[in-house]
Chain A
Amino acid sequence: MFGRSKRAKIVTPTSNPGAYRFGNQRLIELRTVTKAYETAAGPFVALKHIDLEVDRGEFVAVVGKSGSGKSTLINMITGIDRPSSGEVLIGDTAVHTLSEGQMAVWRGRHVGVIFQFFQLLPTLTVLENVMLPMDFCNTYPARERPERAMALLEEVDMVDHADKLPSATSGGQQQRVAIARALANDPAMIVADEPTGNLDSRTAEAVFSLFGRLVDEGKTVLMVTHDDDLAHRVSRTVTIADGLIVSDTGHGSATMPQPVAEQMAV
């Protein structure tokens, strides 16, 4: 479905384990992370002393029941939320120490975030939506941005819709644009919160395949999902219950035995 890819254009830095600034060996390291919220009924602990390591090129599914803490875990990694205690180290960055403004810039450059409801800006065209992260982070020269955005849209097979407003495209198409947008600044890590939750099964499958391809290119993909089928087709599945990691299957294989895209082509 997403054929004619020009993967060569998406530059992915090589893995460099053990070389990170804070002594972290992996791209993502969570050290004894606890997150508690104050609620009217008293403090609610969403994450309890979580330790997690994810390396480059891993495709990790985070699964768990509603309210188990999986979204909170993802929010710790993207810097969308900060821990009550513990450390979140992503590459050379101690994310938990950044201010909200610094966090936004860091996130724009290093993390591609994909939401369940796509969240494209309704007043910008598809192409403009993809260019926006480059504008915010000033990562590519202005004249190169349209070309790069078109390449990304081609990657997700949305070139023909480049000048449309998001409201003129379907849910699946919007999610593909959202993926292209997440790749705009060529981040090492893609984090997706229920990316297929609002899509029909055929479109969900196509989106999932696209993630597989990104992993093949060396990206690290973390995906929250309710879909057991999809969860079982990734290299690693982290299961969360009541704020604790209760299982972590596939952990330890830094690289996938065979290209994920091929493995998933069932």
Chain B
Amino acid sequence: MLRDLRDQKARTLLVVLSIAVGVFAVGMIAGTRQILTHQLNTSYQSINPAHALLGVNGFDSDLLAAVQRMPEVESATARFSLRTRASLGPGRWLDFTIFALPDWENIPINIVRSESGPWPPPRDAVVVERTSLPMLKSAIGDTLSLELPDGRLRDVSVVGTAHDINLPPARFTNQGYGYATFDTLERWGFPKQYTSLSITVADPQGRNDQEYIQSVADLVKDKVESSGRVVTFTYVPEPGKHPADEVLAPVFLLLGVLGLLSLFLSAFLVINTIAAIMAQQVRQIGVMKTIGARFGQLVTLYLGMVLVFGLLALLIAIPAGLAGAYGFTSFLATFLNFDVVYEGIPVPAVGLQVLVGLLIPMIAALLPIRNGARVTIREAISSYGLGKGRFGQGSFDRLLVNSQRVLPWLSRPLMISLRNTFRRKGRLALTMVTLTLGGAIFVAVLSVRASLYQTVDDAVRNNNFHIIIGIDRDVRTEALQEAALQTPGVIAAESWGRASARRQRPDAPADSTADNSLPSLPSRNGQADSQVSTQPGMPGGESDEIRINAPPAGSKMVNPQMVAGRWLLPEDENALVVNTNFMDAEKDVRLGDTITLKINDKESDWVIVGVMEGVLDQATAYANYDYFSRLMGRTGRANGLRVLTNSEDPAVHVRVAAALEQKFKEDGYTVTQLSTRAENLEGTEYQFGILVNLLMVMTLLMALVGGLGLMGTMSINVIERTREIGVMRAIGAATRSIMQIITVEGILIGLISWIQATILAYPLSRLLSDQVGLAFTDAPLSFAFSVQGIVIWLAIVTIVAALASYLPARNASRLTVREVLAYE
């Protein structure tokens, strides 16, 4: 048997590769999961992550010391954060947040590690978080021009880099982060004070108890508020878990499913190949039975052969899986801002590989081995001539035979290809399953990609403007709009009222200090982040932050996709249209309900008149500008604009934004906010891009399995038809004819699988798109089916089929007639 494996090198390699691909996929995914989860959490724990984070409107070291003295608190630290903009060149800016720390050498919580340069940075210098450096298009030693919130410009030197695992990579958020001392900030006119407070709890039992941590955070909140400060938010993350853990779980679930699928398809390849080997071994089995071999002995013998295949596959799959796991983890780590170190072999993942690498092929081979070993001696020694595959017995075969009448232009060699395709129907079915699933998943992944971008488009469609610009004070809306409209490229400008609100849930006491709701601001650094999580709120207390947008009545810049109720009418006063994200967060609210919102510490009642689709959005409510500005005491005035340009080109938006900024500065305003639509979506598209890339890696693996499957099938077909090929050679078939017959058969299989894949792709795309949406955005994605994917798969499957059948065809054409006719 071992001699047989050695002599049939190509066949052995094919089986071993078939098994190895599936086992590699399982090993890579399981290994990545193990290495990533372990190292991410180890790295995260090494910075002593905060148990709770509170946003406070400015406090000093005395209050920090008071919190540190609280018996429930193990340690506490504070940070000051300042939002600036870093110049990237004429008219181009990157939001840049600067953090200042109370003690640079001894950071007890959320430790930041210096990676290069002086720490702390000297006066008028910044240390940049390492992922921000490329975004700033700067290098150490460069000077960075920062614009402060009041519009003043200050130059700082970039003197080093630091690593803060708590910060997402700058490309994710499309903003940079850096560190400067209070010395620098005080020179810029900012007093030494802090804006966020991080704590760890003292009770070792309570460190993993989110409820307990929340209660301590509430005590700290009380303490802070009793000193006269305002707590803007409290955030208690899931204890001990890196914030990305939540995102990684569905990613691994998805990759795991695809990994298992490739293993499953690998098993199909094993079934096909073992069945072919058993067919080739028929005579040998007959001889062994003649000299006394029993069924059980034969089964054991051939299972032993499969075991050897499995062991050989493991020799490839384990090192490849290990390299893949570390490579994949390093790739993912760049998106999670942590470093991967080699920590040896992930034993459980390798154990899983060994288990599936040995067990799955044995299970898959059991049926073909059983069937092969059952052959009678008479059947085994009586086979001769051509005709394996019992062609011509079924009605489908008869249909194919009659097809010559319908397709008289089809040449005999092509007819042979067509009929050969359907000779081994079981083998064809298994090959088809592999290729069809590979194709359907390929198209589904591209459909998810299309759906992700469709979702972004839908999100954009809700807001029909290109630029948001904010200034430092309230100005008459007409004056603002006029200034904007004088800028070349601007075709419309609207002043919108903006505010943050929190819903006062029905049974909440009027005093928000009695708040017992679960705070859930996802920002991990205490910076004034406007993004709010959409986790369902509990009845009672205050809601998470809700964004209020107040466009003028009849605004052309909002294009709501209504789900229920109606859009705002000009005569509406305290009417609100909320988005679906709001409804998800405030599950007890119904259309027509009256809710109480707390805006700038003032409560007001609002009636919900409509619900609009919220795509990639936070909980948001829309009100009429006139009523809203009256309520806020800012009638006819605004501090920002939405601007529509005459182009959809993001480059034009950037140019117009720069021109707008220039114009507003010339008019004496300080621009505090300036962003284009493309910039706002860049981070989201980047994140989607990563997800799609991950899925594409797995899809290519599936295509590889499919290609291997087809190559295996074609090789087996060629081996089985070696004698036929010899006969064709003997009656005048040239090399080209033989290659054509085999290659066309391979391509036919590919094309049929493509048709099937196209049919299966639609429901699969829908399912995958919905699940990805639910996992990553809490709502199904806006579905878009990738027709482009179908066309690309057609090209791939044709090329793969041609390549997969080329080698067997070439081998066949190289056989001499004597070898062929002496075969068996």
Residues of A within 8 A of B (CB): 75, 78-81, 100-101, 103-105, 107-109, 113, 115, 117-125, 128, 131-133, 135-137, 163, 165-168, 181-182, 184-185
Contacts and interface: CB of A to CB of B under 8 A. Distances in A.
Interface of B: 384-387, 389, 391-392, 401, 404, 411-413, 415-416, 419-420, 423, 723-724, 727-737, 813-814, 816-818, 821
Nearest to A191: B730
Contact of B731 (A122, A136, A163, A166): A136
Nearest to B418: A123
A115 B727 contact: yes
A122 B734 contact: no
A128 B392 contact: no
B731 A113 contact: yes
Contact of B385 (A118, A135, A184, A185): A118
A119 B727 contact: yes
B199 to A, nearest CB: 79
Contacts of B385: 117-119
A80 B814 CA distance: 13
A136 B727 contact: no
Contact of A101 (B387, B413, B735, B818): B735
A100 B735 contact: yes
Nearest to A139: B732
B675 to A, nearest CB: 67
A241 B392 CA distance: 43
A108 B733 contact: yes
Contact of A122 (B384, B389, B733, B813): B389
A107 B821 CA distance: 15
Nearest to B413: A135
21 contacts: A78-B730, A79-B817, A80-B821, A81-B817, A100-B735, A100-B814, A100-B816, A104-B734, A107-B731, A113-B730, A117-B386, A119-B723, A121-B416, A121-B728, A122-B391, A123-B420, A132-B731, A135-B411, A165-B391, A166-B387, A168-B392
Nearest to A193: B821
A133 B423 CA distance: 22
Which residue of A120, A135, A163, A182 has the most chain B CB atoms within 10 A of its CB atom?
A135
A53 B774 CA distance: 84
Contacts of B723: 119
A175 to B, nearest CB: 11
A30 B782 CA distance: 78
Contacts of A135: 411-413
Given A105-B734, A133-B732, A124 B386 contact: no
A136 B821 CA distance: 19
Contact of B818 (A80, A115, A136): A80
B734 A101 contact: yes
Nearest to A142: B411
A237 B644 CA distance: 101
A98 to B, nearest CB: 12
A80 B386 contact: no
A125 B817 CA distance: 23
B415 to A, nearest CB: 7
Given A122-B389, A122-B391, A165-B401, A117 B384 contact: yes
Contacts, number: 111
A220 B729 CA distance: 21
A124 B392 contact: no
A167 B818 contact: no
Q: Is the interface of A mostly helix, strand, loop or mixed?
A: helix
A122 to B, nearest CB: 4
Nearest to B821: A80
A148 to B, nearest CB: 14
Given A100-B735, A104-B735, A107-B732, A123 B416 contact: yes
Which residue of B724, B727, B814 has the most chain A CB atoms within 10 A of its CB atom?
B727
B415 A136 contact: no
Given A103-B817, A122-B724, A124-B416, 14 more contacts: A101-B736, A104-B817, A115-B730, A118-B385, A120-B386, A122-B391, A123-B391, A124-B412, A128-B404, A132-B412, A136-B737, A163-B401, A165-B401, A167-B391
Contacts of B733: 104, 108, 136
Contacts of A128: 404, 412, 415
Contacts of A132: 412, 728, 731
Nearest to A105: B734
B145 to A, nearest CB: 73
Contacts of B391: 122-123, 165, 167
Nearest to A145: B412
Nearest to B387: A122
Contacts of A118: 385
B739 to A, nearest CB: 10
B732 A80 contact: no
Contacts of B821: 80, 115
Contact of B732 (A124, A163, A166, A185): A185
Nearest to B411: A135
A105 B817 CA distance: 13
Contacts of A80: 730, 816-818, 821
Contacts of A104: 729-730, 732-735, 817
Which residue of A109, A131, A166 has the most chain B CB atoms within 10 A of its CB atom?
A166
Nearest to A108: B732
A79 B731 CA distance: 11
A208 to B, nearest CB: 21
Nearest to B729: A104
A118 B412 CA distance: 19
A125 B401 contact: yes
Nearest to A100: B816
Given A128-B412, A133-B732, A135-B411, A121 B724 contact: yes
B392 A136 contact: no
A122 B392 contact: yes
Nearest to A127: B404
Contacts of B814: 100
Contacts of A108: 731-733
Contacts of B387: 122, 166-167
A192 to B, nearest CB: 12
A182 B731 CA distance: 7
A124 B417 CA distance: 11
B762 to A, nearest CB: 34
Contacts of B401: 125, 163, 165
